[in-house]
Structure 1
Amino acid sequence: MKPKKKAAPTATTGTVMEPETLPVQPPKLKVLLVDDHPITRQGMKALVNQQPNLEVCGEADNAAYAIELVSKLQPDLAIVDIALKTTNGIELTKNIKVQAPNLPVLIVSMHDEGLYAERALRAGAMGYLMKQEAGEKIIQAIQRLLQGEIYLSDKIKEKMLHRFVNKKGDGMVFSIDTLSDREMEVFQLIGNGYSTRQIAQKLNLSSKTIDSYREHLKLKLNLESGAELVRHAIQWARNEGSI
Protein backbone atom coordinates (compact mmCIF):
# COMPACT_ATOMS: atom_id res chain seq x y z
CA MET A 1 0.00 0.00 0.00
CA LYS A 2 1.14 3.45 -0.88
CA PRO A 3 1.61 5.74 2.08
CA LYS A 4 -1.06 8.34 2.36
CA LYS A 5 0.00 11.90 1.55
CA LYS A 6 -0.05 14.18 4.49
CA ALA A 7 -2.48 17.04 4.20
CA ALA A 8 -0.92 20.49 4.01
CA PRO A 9 -1.10 22.20 7.34
CA THR A 10 -3.72 24.88 7.58
CA ALA A 11 -3.20 28.02 9.56
CA THR A 12 -5.84 28.44 12.17
CA THR A 13 -4.24 31.43 13.79
CA GLY A 14 -1.90 34.14 12.57
CA THR A 15 -1.44 37.83 11.66
CA VAL A 16 -3.05 39.33 8.59
CA MET A 17 -0.38 41.21 6.60
CA GLU A 18 -1.43 44.70 5.55
CA PRO A 19 -0.33 45.82 2.11
CA GLU A 20 2.76 48.01 2.31
CA THR A 21 1.98 51.67 1.81
CA LEU A 22 4.55 54.04 0.35
CA PRO A 23 5.01 57.47 1.91
CA VAL A 24 3.10 60.19 0.08
CA GLN A 25 5.47 62.60 -1.62
CA PRO A 26 4.60 66.27 -1.16
CA PRO A 27 3.87 68.15 -4.38
CA LYS A 28 6.87 69.82 -5.97
CA LEU A 29 7.24 73.58 -5.74
CA LYS A 30 6.72 75.34 -9.07
CA VAL A 31 9.37 77.62 -10.59
CA LEU A 32 8.75 80.04 -13.47
CA LEU A 33 11.72 80.94 -15.71
CA VAL A 34 11.81 84.32 -17.48
CA ASP A 35 14.79 84.74 -19.81
CA ASP A 36 15.02 85.54 -23.52
CA HIS A 37 17.92 83.13 -24.13
CA PRO A 38 16.64 79.56 -24.79
CA ILE A 39 20.00 77.96 -23.94
CA THR A 40 20.09 79.74 -20.58
CA ARG A 41 16.55 78.60 -19.79
CA GLN A 42 17.43 75.05 -20.78
CA GLY A 43 20.41 74.97 -18.41
CA MET A 44 18.44 76.43 -15.50
CA LYS A 45 15.55 74.09 -16.15
CA ALA A 46 17.86 71.07 -15.95
CA LEU A 47 19.32 72.28 -12.64
CA VAL A 48 15.91 72.99 -11.11
CA ASN A 49 14.29 69.75 -12.26
CA GLN A 50 17.10 67.72 -10.71
CA GLN A 51 15.93 68.82 -7.26
CA PRO A 52 13.48 66.47 -5.52
CA ASN A 53 11.24 69.32 -4.34
CA LEU A 54 11.31 71.59 -7.41
CA GLU A 55 10.04 71.63 -10.98
CA VAL A 56 9.92 74.23 -13.75
CA CYS A 57 6.24 74.87 -14.44
CA GLY A 58 6.64 77.39 -17.26
CA GLU A 59 9.02 79.47 -19.36
CA ALA A 60 8.70 82.97 -20.85
CA ASP A 61 11.00 85.07 -23.02
CA ASN A 62 9.17 88.38 -22.58
CA ALA A 63 7.43 90.37 -19.87
CA ALA A 64 3.88 90.16 -21.23
CA TYR A 65 3.92 86.36 -21.41
CA ALA A 66 5.58 86.16 -17.99
CA ILE A 67 2.72 88.13 -16.42
CA GLU A 68 0.24 85.82 -18.15
CA LEU A 69 1.99 82.72 -16.79
CA VAL A 70 2.13 84.12 -13.26
CA SER A 71 -1.65 84.36 -13.31
CA LYS A 72 -2.22 81.04 -15.09
CA LEU A 73 0.32 78.77 -13.35
CA GLN A 74 0.47 80.30 -9.84
CA PRO A 75 4.20 79.51 -9.41
CA ASP A 76 5.89 79.37 -6.02
CA LEU A 77 8.92 81.33 -7.28
CA ALA A 78 9.96 83.28 -10.38
CA ILE A 79 13.50 83.56 -11.76
CA VAL A 80 13.81 86.72 -13.87
CA ASP A 81 16.62 88.02 -16.08
CA ILE A 82 17.17 91.79 -16.25
CA ALA A 83 17.74 92.00 -20.02
CA LEU A 84 14.48 91.10 -21.78
CA LYS A 85 13.24 91.94 -25.26
CA THR A 86 10.65 94.60 -24.50
CA THR A 87 11.41 95.73 -20.96
CA ASN A 88 13.90 95.08 -18.18
CA GLY A 89 13.51 92.52 -15.43
CA ILE A 90 13.33 95.14 -12.70
CA GLU A 91 10.24 96.73 -14.26
CA LEU A 92 8.79 93.25 -14.75
CA THR A 93 9.44 92.46 -11.08
CA LYS A 94 7.45 95.54 -10.06
CA ASN A 95 4.53 94.37 -12.23
CA ILE A 96 4.75 90.82 -10.89
CA LYS A 97 4.59 92.09 -7.31
CA VAL A 98 1.45 94.08 -8.12
CA GLN A 99 -0.23 90.93 -9.43
CA ALA A 100 1.27 88.45 -6.94
CA PRO A 101 2.62 90.33 -3.89
CA ASN A 102 3.74 87.18 -2.10
CA LEU A 103 5.58 85.59 -5.05
CA PRO A 104 9.35 85.46 -4.38
CA VAL A 105 11.39 86.80 -7.32
CA LEU A 106 15.05 85.94 -7.89
CA ILE A 107 16.91 88.18 -10.34
CA VAL A 108 19.61 86.28 -12.25
CA SER A 109 21.62 88.50 -14.57
CA MET A 110 24.93 89.12 -16.28
CA HIS A 111 24.72 92.76 -15.14
CA ASP A 112 26.93 93.91 -12.28
CA GLU A 113 25.34 93.32 -8.90
CA GLY A 114 26.91 96.47 -7.50
CA LEU A 115 24.72 98.50 -9.82
CA TYR A 116 21.49 96.51 -9.90
CA ALA A 117 21.13 94.43 -6.72
CA GLU A 118 19.77 97.25 -4.58
CA ARG A 119 17.41 98.34 -7.35
CA ALA A 120 16.17 94.78 -7.68
CA LEU A 121 15.39 94.64 -3.95
CA ARG A 122 13.61 98.00 -4.09
CA ALA A 123 11.51 96.66 -6.97
CA GLY A 124 10.38 93.74 -4.79
CA ALA A 125 12.87 90.98 -5.63
CA MET A 126 14.16 88.86 -2.75
CA GLY A 127 17.48 87.91 -4.31
CA TYR A 128 20.09 88.80 -6.92
CA LEU A 129 22.55 86.38 -8.48
CA MET A 130 25.18 86.93 -11.15
CA LYS A 131 24.81 84.52 -14.08
CA GLN A 132 28.44 83.42 -13.91
CA GLU A 133 27.72 82.13 -10.40
CA ALA A 134 24.28 80.74 -11.15
CA GLY A 135 25.37 77.17 -11.89
CA GLU A 136 26.75 76.51 -8.43
CA LYS A 137 24.56 78.82 -6.34
CA ILE A 138 21.14 79.03 -7.98
CA ILE A 139 19.65 76.11 -6.06
CA GLN A 140 20.95 77.55 -2.79
CA ALA A 141 19.41 80.91 -3.71
CA ILE A 142 16.07 79.32 -4.66
CA GLN A 143 15.83 77.37 -1.42
CA ARG A 144 16.73 80.48 0.57
CA LEU A 145 13.95 82.51 -1.06
CA LEU A 146 11.41 79.71 -0.58
CA GLN A 147 12.19 79.87 3.14
CA GLY A 148 11.33 83.56 3.14
CA GLU A 149 14.93 84.78 3.26
CA ILE A 150 16.85 87.25 1.07
CA TYR A 151 19.74 86.03 -1.05
CA LEU A 152 22.68 88.32 -1.95
CA SER A 153 26.38 87.67 -2.39
CA ASP A 154 28.65 88.39 0.59
CA LYS A 155 30.31 91.12 -1.48
CA ILE A 156 27.13 93.11 -2.11
CA LYS A 157 25.86 92.60 1.46
CA GLU A 158 29.11 94.06 2.80
CA LYS A 159 28.92 96.97 0.36
CA MET A 160 25.34 97.78 1.36
CA LEU A 161 26.23 97.53 5.03
CA HIS A 162 29.18 99.92 4.61
CA ARG A 163 26.98 102.37 2.74
CA PHE A 164 24.44 102.27 5.55
CA VAL A 165 27.00 102.64 8.34
CA ASN A 166 29.30 105.20 6.74
CA LYS A 167 26.64 107.25 4.94
CA LYS A 168 29.11 108.65 2.46
CA GLY A 169 28.93 112.39 1.92
CA ASP A 170 29.58 112.07 -1.79
CA GLY A 171 26.67 113.85 -3.44
CA MET A 172 27.11 111.72 -6.55
CA VAL A 173 26.21 108.55 -4.62
CA PHE A 174 22.92 109.97 -3.40
CA SER A 175 22.15 111.57 -6.79
CA ILE A 176 22.59 108.22 -8.54
CA ASP A 177 20.14 106.65 -6.12
CA THR A 178 17.47 109.13 -7.23
CA LEU A 179 17.55 107.96 -10.85
CA SER A 180 14.72 105.83 -12.19
CA ASP A 181 15.56 102.37 -13.50
CA ARG A 182 15.33 103.56 -17.12
CA GLU A 183 17.47 106.62 -16.38
CA MET A 184 20.00 104.32 -14.75
CA GLU A 185 20.09 102.16 -17.88
CA VAL A 186 20.73 105.17 -20.09
CA PHE A 187 23.39 106.50 -17.70
CA GLN A 188 25.16 103.15 -17.62
CA LEU A 189 25.13 102.83 -21.40
CA ILE A 190 26.54 106.35 -21.78
CA GLY A 191 29.33 105.34 -19.43
CA ASN A 192 30.10 102.32 -21.58
CA GLY A 193 30.55 104.44 -24.70
CA TYR A 194 27.18 104.01 -26.42
CA SER A 195 25.99 106.86 -28.63
CA THR A 196 22.46 108.25 -28.48
CA ARG A 197 21.48 106.24 -31.57
CA GLN A 198 22.98 103.02 -30.18
CA ILE A 199 21.23 103.47 -26.85
CA ALA A 200 17.93 104.09 -28.67
CA GLN A 201 18.35 100.87 -30.65
CA LYS A 202 19.33 98.83 -27.59
CA LEU A 203 16.37 100.04 -25.52
CA ASN A 204 13.87 100.13 -28.42
CA LEU A 205 13.30 103.86 -27.97
CA SER A 206 13.62 106.87 -30.24
CA SER A 207 16.74 109.03 -30.30
CA LYS A 208 14.57 111.97 -29.24
CA THR A 209 13.53 110.06 -26.12
CA ILE A 210 17.15 109.30 -25.28
CA ASP A 211 18.00 113.00 -25.67
CA SER A 212 15.25 113.75 -23.15
CA TYR A 213 16.75 111.23 -20.74
CA ARG A 214 20.13 112.91 -21.13
CA GLU A 215 18.58 116.24 -20.14
CA HIS A 216 16.86 114.67 -17.13
CA LEU A 217 20.17 113.11 -16.08
CA LYS A 218 21.98 116.44 -16.24
CA LEU A 219 19.30 118.05 -14.08
CA LYS A 220 19.18 115.26 -11.49
CA LEU A 221 22.96 114.99 -11.25
CA ASN A 222 23.47 118.75 -11.28
CA LEU A 223 25.69 118.66 -14.38
CA GLU A 224 26.04 121.58 -16.76
CA SER A 225 26.90 119.95 -20.09
CA GLY A 226 26.67 116.77 -22.10
CA ALA A 227 30.43 116.35 -21.90
CA GLU A 228 30.27 116.51 -18.12
CA LEU A 229 27.51 113.90 -18.14
CA VAL A 230 29.63 111.57 -20.27
CA ARG A 231 32.64 112.07 -17.99
CA HIS A 232 30.64 111.26 -14.84
CA ALA A 233 28.99 108.27 -16.54
CA ILE A 234 32.36 106.84 -17.60
CA GLN A 235 33.73 107.29 -14.09
CA TRP A 236 30.69 105.57 -12.59
CA ALA A 237 30.86 102.68 -15.06
CA ARG A 238 34.53 102.08 -14.24
CA ASN A 239 33.82 102.04 -10.52
CA GLU A 240 30.64 99.99 -10.58
CA GLY A 241 31.20 97.62 -13.51
CA SER A 242 30.05 97.42 -17.11
CA ILE A 243 26.91 96.08 -18.69
Structure 2
Amino acid sequence: MGSSIAGIELVKLLIADDHWLIRDSLKQVIRRLDKNHQLLEASDFEEALAILSTHDDIDLVLADLIMPGFDAFDGLQELRTRFPNVPVAVVSVFEDRAHVLRAVEQGVIGYIPKSSSPAEIERAFERILDGEVYFPRRLLEAAPLANAATTPNASYPDVGLLTNREREVIDLLGKGLSVQKIASELDVAAHTVRVHLSSLMRKLGLPDRAATIHFAINHAVAVDARSTR
Protein backbone atom coordinates (compact mmCIF):
# COMPACT_ATOMS: atom_id res chain seq x y z
CA MET A 1 0.00 0.00 0.00
CA GLY A 2 1.33 3.45 -0.89
CA SER A 3 1.43 6.60 1.19
CA SER A 4 -1.25 8.31 -0.88
CA ILE A 5 -4.80 7.22 -1.51
CA ALA A 6 -5.12 9.21 -4.73
CA GLY A 7 -5.71 7.09 -7.78
CA ILE A 8 -6.48 3.82 -6.00
CA GLU A 9 -9.76 2.18 -5.09
CA LEU A 10 -10.22 2.07 -1.34
CA VAL A 11 -11.49 -1.28 -0.12
CA LYS A 12 -10.46 -1.57 3.53
CA LEU A 13 -11.17 1.11 6.13
CA LEU A 14 -10.75 1.16 9.90
CA ILE A 15 -13.25 3.15 11.97
CA ALA A 16 -11.84 3.89 15.44
CA ASP A 17 -14.38 5.40 17.84
CA ASP A 18 -15.57 4.33 21.28
CA HIS A 19 -19.24 5.08 20.50
CA TRP A 20 -20.95 2.26 18.60
CA LEU A 21 -23.60 4.65 17.32
CA ILE A 22 -20.97 6.83 15.62
CA ARG A 23 -19.28 3.78 14.11
CA ASP A 24 -22.62 2.52 12.83
CA SER A 25 -23.51 5.91 11.34
CA LEU A 26 -20.17 6.16 9.54
CA LYS A 27 -20.55 2.63 8.20
CA GLN A 28 -23.97 3.47 6.78
CA VAL A 29 -22.62 6.54 4.97
CA ILE A 30 -19.64 4.66 3.55
CA ARG A 31 -21.78 1.74 2.38
CA ARG A 32 -24.08 4.14 0.56
CA LEU A 33 -21.01 5.22 -1.43
CA ASP A 34 -19.74 1.70 -2.10
CA LYS A 35 -21.10 -1.53 -0.60
CA ASN A 36 -17.87 -3.36 -1.48
CA HIS A 37 -15.70 -1.51 1.01
CA GLN A 38 -14.45 -3.74 3.83
CA LEU A 39 -15.01 -1.99 7.15
CA LEU A 40 -13.12 -2.80 10.35
CA GLU A 41 -13.96 -1.35 13.76
CA ALA A 42 -12.06 -0.45 16.92
CA SER A 43 -13.60 0.87 20.13
CA ASP A 44 -10.33 2.06 21.69
CA PHE A 45 -6.77 2.96 20.70
CA GLU A 46 -5.25 -0.36 21.75
CA GLU A 47 -7.69 -2.25 19.55
CA ALA A 48 -7.00 0.11 16.65
CA LEU A 49 -3.25 -0.44 16.96
CA ALA A 50 -3.75 -4.20 17.08
CA ILE A 51 -5.83 -4.13 13.89
CA LEU A 52 -3.31 -1.92 12.09
CA SER A 53 -0.50 -4.24 13.17
CA THR A 54 -2.22 -7.31 11.72
CA HIS A 55 -3.71 -5.69 8.59
CA ASP A 56 -1.03 -4.09 6.47
CA ASP A 57 -3.47 -3.34 3.66
CA ILE A 58 -5.72 -0.82 5.41
CA ASP A 59 -6.30 2.10 3.07
CA LEU A 60 -7.77 4.65 5.46
CA VAL A 61 -8.29 5.18 9.19
CA LEU A 62 -11.20 7.25 10.48
CA ALA A 63 -10.28 8.19 14.03
CA ASP A 64 -11.99 10.07 16.84
CA LEU A 65 -9.68 12.45 18.74
CA ILE A 66 -10.97 11.27 22.12
CA MET A 67 -11.35 7.58 22.93
CA PRO A 68 -9.86 5.24 25.57
CA GLY A 69 -6.06 5.21 25.24
CA PHE A 70 -6.08 7.89 22.54
CA ASP A 71 -5.35 11.31 24.01
CA ALA A 72 -6.21 13.71 21.19
CA PHE A 73 -3.08 14.93 19.41
CA ASP A 74 -0.63 12.78 21.37
CA GLY A 75 -2.55 9.74 20.18
CA LEU A 76 -2.76 11.10 16.66
CA GLN A 77 0.97 11.72 16.62
CA GLU A 78 1.66 8.17 17.82
CA LEU A 79 -0.66 6.78 15.17
CA ARG A 80 1.04 8.77 12.40
CA THR A 81 4.50 7.83 13.72
CA ARG A 82 3.86 4.10 13.98
CA PHE A 83 1.90 3.83 10.72
CA PRO A 84 3.12 6.75 8.57
CA ASN A 85 1.91 5.22 5.30
CA VAL A 86 -1.71 4.82 6.41
CA PRO A 87 -3.84 7.90 5.60
CA VAL A 88 -5.83 9.20 8.58
CA ALA A 89 -8.97 11.33 8.66
CA VAL A 90 -10.35 12.72 11.93
CA VAL A 91 -14.02 12.50 12.90
CA SER A 92 -14.42 14.69 15.96
CA VAL A 93 -16.84 16.48 18.27
CA PHE A 94 -14.43 19.44 18.39
CA GLU A 95 -15.51 22.17 15.98
CA ASP A 96 -12.95 24.93 16.16
CA ARG A 97 -10.20 26.10 13.88
CA ALA A 98 -7.46 25.32 16.42
CA HIS A 99 -8.29 21.60 16.43
CA VAL A 100 -8.46 21.49 12.64
CA LEU A 101 -5.08 23.17 12.25
CA ARG A 102 -3.40 20.96 14.85
CA ALA A 103 -4.75 17.92 13.03
CA VAL A 104 -3.37 19.34 9.78
CA GLU A 105 0.04 19.64 11.45
CA GLN A 106 -0.10 15.88 12.11
CA GLY A 107 -0.65 15.21 8.40
CA VAL A 108 -4.29 14.09 8.45
CA ILE A 109 -6.07 14.14 5.10
CA GLY A 110 -9.47 15.13 6.44
CA TYR A 111 -11.36 16.56 9.40
CA ILE A 112 -15.08 15.82 9.73
CA PRO A 113 -17.11 17.35 12.61
CA LYS A 114 -19.52 14.87 14.18
CA SER A 115 -22.31 17.43 13.99
CA SER A 116 -22.14 17.37 10.19
CA SER A 117 -25.27 16.25 8.40
CA PRO A 118 -25.26 12.85 6.66
CA ALA A 119 -25.06 14.70 3.33
CA GLU A 120 -22.02 16.69 4.50
CA ILE A 121 -20.29 13.55 5.78
CA GLU A 122 -21.02 11.81 2.49
CA ARG A 123 -19.52 14.70 0.52
CA ALA A 124 -16.44 14.62 2.75
CA PHE A 125 -15.94 10.89 2.17
CA GLU A 126 -16.47 11.32 -1.56
CA ARG A 127 -13.66 13.85 -1.72
CA ILE A 128 -11.34 11.76 0.43
CA LEU A 129 -12.03 8.59 -1.53
CA ASP A 130 -11.44 10.53 -4.76
CA GLY A 131 -7.92 11.34 -3.60
CA GLU A 132 -8.63 14.89 -2.40
CA VAL A 133 -8.29 16.25 1.11
CA TYR A 134 -11.31 17.49 3.08
CA PHE A 135 -11.38 20.18 5.75
CA PRO A 136 -14.60 22.04 6.69
CA ARG A 137 -14.59 25.42 5.02
CA ARG A 138 -16.76 27.01 7.73
CA LEU A 139 -14.09 26.23 10.34
CA LEU A 140 -11.16 27.35 8.21
CA GLU A 141 -12.90 30.67 7.57
CA ALA A 142 -13.47 31.27 11.29
CA ALA A 143 -11.73 34.15 13.03
CA PRO A 144 -7.90 33.85 12.96
CA LEU A 145 -6.24 32.30 15.97
CA ALA A 146 -4.98 34.78 18.55
CA ASN A 147 -1.61 33.03 18.71
CA ALA A 148 -1.25 32.39 14.99
CA ALA A 149 2.18 33.04 13.55
CA THR A 150 2.48 36.57 12.16
CA THR A 151 5.02 35.54 9.56
CA PRO A 152 5.19 32.47 7.34
CA ASN A 153 7.16 29.54 8.62
CA ALA A 154 10.81 29.82 7.57
CA SER A 155 10.60 26.42 5.93
CA TYR A 156 7.72 27.47 3.68
CA PRO A 157 8.43 27.77 -0.04
CA ASP A 158 8.40 31.28 -1.51
CA VAL A 159 4.88 32.08 -2.75
CA GLY A 160 6.46 34.98 -4.64
CA LEU A 161 7.30 32.40 -7.29
CA LEU A 162 3.61 32.05 -8.14
CA THR A 163 1.56 33.90 -10.72
CA ASN A 164 -1.46 35.90 -9.58
CA ARG A 165 -3.82 33.15 -10.73
CA GLU A 166 -1.78 30.46 -8.94
CA ARG A 167 -1.97 32.58 -5.78
CA GLU A 168 -5.75 32.73 -6.17
CA VAL A 169 -5.90 28.96 -6.52
CA ILE A 170 -3.71 28.29 -3.47
CA ASP A 171 -5.67 30.81 -1.37
CA LEU A 172 -9.02 29.24 -2.26
CA LEU A 173 -7.60 25.79 -1.65
CA GLY A 174 -6.55 26.93 1.83
CA LYS A 175 -10.11 28.07 2.51
CA GLY A 176 -11.42 24.56 1.98
CA LEU A 177 -12.70 24.80 -1.59
CA SER A 178 -12.61 21.76 -3.86
CA VAL A 179 -11.25 21.88 -7.41
CA GLN A 180 -14.78 22.20 -8.78
CA LYS A 181 -15.62 25.04 -6.37
CA ILE A 182 -12.38 26.86 -7.23
CA ALA A 183 -13.20 26.53 -10.92
CA SER A 184 -16.64 28.03 -10.30
CA GLU A 185 -15.23 30.84 -8.16
CA LEU A 186 -12.64 31.79 -10.79
CA ASP A 187 -14.99 31.12 -13.73
CA VAL A 188 -12.59 28.68 -15.38
CA ALA A 189 -12.68 24.97 -16.23
CA ALA A 190 -11.78 22.40 -13.57
CA HIS A 191 -9.01 21.20 -15.89
CA THR A 192 -7.53 24.71 -15.83
CA VAL A 193 -7.48 24.67 -12.03
CA ARG A 194 -5.67 21.32 -12.09
CA VAL A 195 -3.09 22.77 -14.50
CA HIS A 196 -2.50 25.68 -12.11
CA LEU A 197 -2.24 23.23 -9.21
CA SER A 198 0.37 21.16 -11.02
CA SER A 199 2.34 24.28 -11.85
CA LEU A 200 2.32 25.72 -8.33
CA MET A 201 3.14 22.34 -6.80
CA ARG A 202 6.19 22.13 -9.05
CA LYS A 203 7.29 25.69 -8.21
CA LEU A 204 6.84 25.21 -4.45
CA GLY A 205 8.34 21.70 -4.39
CA LEU A 206 5.17 20.14 -2.94
CA PRO A 207 5.08 16.37 -3.57
CA ASP A 208 1.34 15.68 -3.68
CA ARG A 209 -2.16 17.12 -3.30
CA ALA A 210 -2.27 16.47 0.45
CA ALA A 211 0.98 18.38 1.04
CA THR A 212 -0.33 21.18 -1.16
CA ILE A 213 -3.55 21.55 0.82
CA HIS A 214 -1.69 21.41 4.13
CA PHE A 215 0.58 24.20 2.85
CA ALA A 216 -2.39 26.18 1.55
CA ILE A 217 -4.20 26.04 4.90
CA ASN A 218 -1.13 27.06 6.90
CA HIS A 219 -0.26 29.79 4.41
CA ALA A 220 -3.81 31.14 4.74
CA VAL A 221 -3.36 31.26 8.53
CA ALA A 222 -0.17 33.30 8.16
CA VAL A 223 -1.90 35.73 5.78
CA ASP A 224 -4.88 36.08 8.15
CA ALA A 225 -2.58 36.78 11.10
CA ARG A 226 -0.64 39.47 9.23
CA SER A 227 -3.88 41.13 8.11
CA THR A 228 -5.05 41.57 11.72
CA ARG A 229 -1.94 43.34 12.97
**What is the TM-score with the length of structure 2 in the denominator?**
0.55
118, 140, 148: which is aligned to 1:135?
118
Which residue of structure 1 lines up, in the alignment, with residue 27 of structure 2? 45
List per-residue Cα deviations over 1:185-219 (Å, max 9, x = no partner): xxxxxxxxxxxxxxxxxxxxxxxxxxxxxxxxxxx
Greater mean deviation of Cα atoms: 130-139 or 37-46: 130-139
Which residue of structure 2 lines up, in the alignment, with residue 63 of structure 1? 45
Does structure 1 retain, via aligned residues, the 8 Å contact 2:65–2:76?
Answer: no
CA positional deviation for 1:40: 1.1
Does structure 1 retain, via aligned residues, the 8 Å contact 2:30–2:125?
Answer: no
Secondary structure at 2:134's aligned position in 1?
A: coil
73, 76, 79: which is aligned to 1:90?
73
RMSD: 2.7
Which structure carries more relative contact order (alpha carbon 8 Å, separation 6+)? 2
Give the Cα separation in 1 of the matches to 2:130 and 2:74: 24
CA positional deviation for 1:72: 1.8
List per-residue Cα deviations over 1:126-176 (Å, max 9, x = no partner): 1111111152222322232234322111123334565321334989xxxxx
Find out whether 1:29 has 2:11 as its counterpart: yes
Which residue of structure 1 lines up, in the alignment, with residue 62 of structure 2? 79
Does structure 2 retain, via aligned residues, the 8 Å contact 1:106–1:127?
Answer: yes
Does structure 1 retain, via aligned residues, the 8 Å contact 2:10–2:59?
Answer: no
Which residue of structure 1 lines up, in the alignment, with residue 223 of structure 2? 165
CA positional deviation for 1:52: 2.2
Give the Cα separation in 2 of the matches to 1:27 and 1:119: 28
Does structure 2 retain, via aligned residues, the 8 Å contact 1:90–1:119?
Answer: yes
Letter in 2 for 1:120: A
List per-residue Cα deviations over 1:38-88 (Å, max 9, x = no partner): 111111112212222652431111111111111222311111111112222
Flag structure 1 segments of 5+ consecutive residues without an equivalent: 1-25, 172-243
Give the Cα separation in 1 of the matches to 2:125 and 2:75: 19
Cα 1:90–1:43 shift into 2, 3 Å: same
Give the Cα separation in 1 of the matches to 2:31 and 2:66: 24
Does structure 2 retain, via aligned residues, the 8 Å contact 1:48–1:54?
Answer: no
Find out whether 1:144 has 2:127 as its counterpart: yes
Count of aligned positions: 146
Cα 1:27–1:141 shift into 2, 3 Å: closer
Letter in 2 for 1:163: V
Q: Percent identity?
A: 24
Flag structure 2 segments of 5+ consecutive residues without an equivalent: 1-7, 143-216
Greater mean deviation of Cα atoms: 125-134 or 91-100: 91-100
Cα 1:123–1:54 shift into 2, 3 Å: farther
93, 97, 109: which is aligned to 1:114?
97
CA positional deviation for 1:28: 5.7
Find out whether 1:101 has 2:84 as its counterpart: yes
Give the Cα separation in 1 of the matches to 2:10 and 2:140: 31
Does structure 2 retain, via aligned residues, the 8 Å contact 1:33–1:58?
Answer: yes
Letter in 2 for 1:141: A
Runs in 1 of length 4+ with deviation above 4 angstroms?
Answer: 159-162, 168-171
CA positional deviation for 1:35: 0.4
